[in-house]
Amino acid sequence: MWIATVIFYILTLLLSLFGIQYHINIFKYPAYFTIPLTLAVFIPLSIIFLLPLDYVTHNSSNAIPWISLPDKVILYMWKSNYWITFLLTWLILPMLLEFYRSGHNTTLSKIKDALKENLKFQLIMLTIAVFNILYLMFEVGLSFNNLKLMVIAMSHLYSLILATWLMGHGLVSTSRNCWIQGSVIKELNHKYAKLPKLVDDLEDTKVSFREDVLQVLTLKQNYTSDALEDFEFRDWILKLYTLIPGHFREQVERQYSHHNANIQREEITNDFMTKLDSKFNMNLHRFVGYESSYNLLISSIIRLEDVINATGRGELTFRIDNHRVLVSPRFNFIYWYYMRPIGNKVASFFLWIVSFIILQSEFFHSTKMSLLNVVIYSTGISKVGWLQFFVSAATFGYMLFAAVSSLTQLKIFNMYHLVRRDSDPVSASWFAMYIARLTIPLSYNFLTLFVNRASIFEDWYGQSIHLTGLFNLLNNWIPRLILIPVLLNIFHIYDKLKKKIGFDDSWSSFDDDDLVTSTDIAKSIVNREMSRRNLQLREFNLTNRNSENLADLNYERNRREFHDSLTNRLDESEPDLESEPIFYNGSIVNNTTNGLWSKLNNTFGWIAGRNNNNNNNRPYRDEEPLENFNYDDDADENLIV
């Protein structure tokens, strides 16, 4: 019976490491960061096994001998899981989060800053605890055991409110997203509608980050010499300089090569560098997060456009990353156009049913009207131990997934970003902290969905919930408030409120005209991005000596235009190329400028290697009105609405 449990825990540990490594290169960080982060993900995943095991062992007429454990072992596992999670979420991970967020340069200064920031939060919690101690004194008396149970109950109620709200939002959005993905056109329009807002966020972040980068470049250029007066902050400045992404550094260096930014030596103090470091890293992480979201969204849109465009020929070849496709173009089209949408619709229908059962059970928890209780005990599932175990594990896993997925979807948490392979330690600590924080309250909440919840966890953890009448009352009514986030999400009240205050960014809040306009803008952005990705500049040699110079001129011209385009907004219009001729094999192949000067320029311009391209681009909002611009011609494809 131990073998199966040990194997499961080993697999869970490997899955935790794989999931963390997928988002952040955890092995390049010290052990004091790696171990807490791993535990914060490992413990919630292990509870998906432990909770059904505990419940089925004490409530099934047919136990599972190959995974059953003694009651003392289960109690020890619950206690260790809880107190490790408690230390992680209330002490260790908040300290690590503030440690990596701190702008100080030395480890000792970072620790002091993290302690100071966490002390503010702990003082707030202590103030609340004082009122609870007074209430506890009059209700059941003051003792060490009662104080311990009160701490457990307070932590439970705080996390239960958050977990219930997030789970209610996630139960609706998960099944809705599957339904949207059940139609290629709906999914494409859904992604089109999100792109302009994402581009705005990315460009705003670029502006803020560019200011920080400019300061770092100015400091690096003027105050990193071997002189004694530059020694104090030289390594700090060089460390920030190495953190600048290479492509972004080139843009700023080229764009601000003649910028008159100046920082006086007396301005460079420890406080100045600390604030710059903190702001620089915050904007860097936001920039990396938005850029990653932009690239993923663009790739997804391009892939869906390829699916739509392949409907005529019945064969699908992606414009990007097609080398990763291991099947034939015909089967690839069948999968993306038929199999995947149908599978998503079936999954959406199934998830709607499961979500409805969970929501109804939350409202009628601990009663015979709970649908989950009816499903388990009225259909014969409880008579088959392994089946009850898998149904319970799958249900609780879905509840936990719905709550965790909402952390990445709700805009209130938009200051933290999970980036594939490149997440920052601040965001990783925050997400790991809340994954661990939500698990224990949801575990007990899962037990309350049944009439009979006899288990080791109920006997140990439940005594803190039932310590006072107030704690028990709150635990009974908080889950029923799950209907509030559910209704807010179903009727798009979030989006309507954001639209009223000017922060609307959801596709569902657009009317028909807004949706068409958003689609037009998104198509323009996608086409521009594809043009950039397809622009593969290579050196080449021509045998004709005279035409070689002309080809080099063309190459240099295209290279400069390519670099200049990187500094423009992603959603700007195409530059005006009429002011400069294009040569091929010694002849002018593109010239739309008329008049005497044009003829002279065509004849002698290549000799002087002139560049008259004055690119005064403006964002798409300042250009020709969208209703007067033919986006179908620009996109060379059908408009999808």
List average pLDDT for each run of 10 residues in the chain, which is 641 residues long. Answer: 86 95 92 96 96 91 80 95 96 95 93 92 86 85 87 92 94 94 94 92 92 91 81 90 89 71 85 94 93 94 95 91 88 96 97 96 93 92 90 96 88 77 92 95 95 93 90 92 90 72 48 64 90 61 45 56 53 45 40 42 40 40 42 42 34
- Nearest alpha-carbon partner for 602 in 575, 578, 580: 580
For residue 583, give the H/E element and its range.
strand 582-584
Dist. CA 131–CA 136, nearest whole Å: 9
Query: What is the phi-psi region of residue 491: left when phi exceeds 0, alpha when psi lies from -120 to 50, beta otherwise?
Result: alpha
- Tokens 């290579």 appear where? 538
Give the pTM. Answer: 0.80
Radius of gyration over every alpha carbon of the chain, rounded to an integer in angstroms: 30
Burial 172-191 (b: 16+ CB within 10 A, else e): bbbbbbbbbbbebeebbbbb
- Diameter over CA atoms, the chain: 100
Dist. CA 111–CA 115, nearest whole Å: 6
Structure tokens at 115: 């302690």
- Nearest alpha-carbon partner for 439 in 17, 78, 106, 4: 78
Burial 138-152 (b: 16+ CB within 10 A, else e): ebeeeeeebeebbbb
Domain residue spans in the chain? 2-186+322-509, 512-635
Q: Provide φ and ψ at 589, rounded to 5°.
A: -110, -10
For residue 71, give the H/E element and its range.
helix 71-87
213-216, long-range: CB < 8 A, 24+ apart: 213/244, 213/248, 213/249, 213/252, 213/280, 214/252, 214/256, 214/259, 214/261, 215/261, 215/263, 215/276, 216/240, 216/241, 216/244, 216/276, 216/280
Q: Rounded to whole angstroms, what are the CA distances from 409 to 161, 173, 448, 512, 577?
A: 18, 9, 27, 24, 41
Structure tokens at 141: 């008396």
pLDDT for 515: 55
pLDDT for 556: 55
Structure tokens at 279: 């702001």
Structure tokens at 623: 């250009």
Q: At what angle do helices 184-222 and 231-243 cross, to 10 degrees?
A: 160
Q: Is 552 exposed, middle or buried (0-12, 13-18, 19+ CB in 10 A)?
A: middle
Dist. CA 450–CA 382, nearest whole Å: 12
> In sequence order, which residues have a C-beta less than 8 Å from that of residue 105 and are 6 or more positions away?
236, 239, 273, 274, 277
- Nearest alpha-carbon partner for 428 in 93, 10, 80: 93
User: What ranges in 256-384 are assigned the alpha helix state H?
Assistant: 270-309, 329-334, 340-363, 371-378
The DSSP symbol for 588 reads E
For residue 555, give the H/E element and its range.
helix 545-566
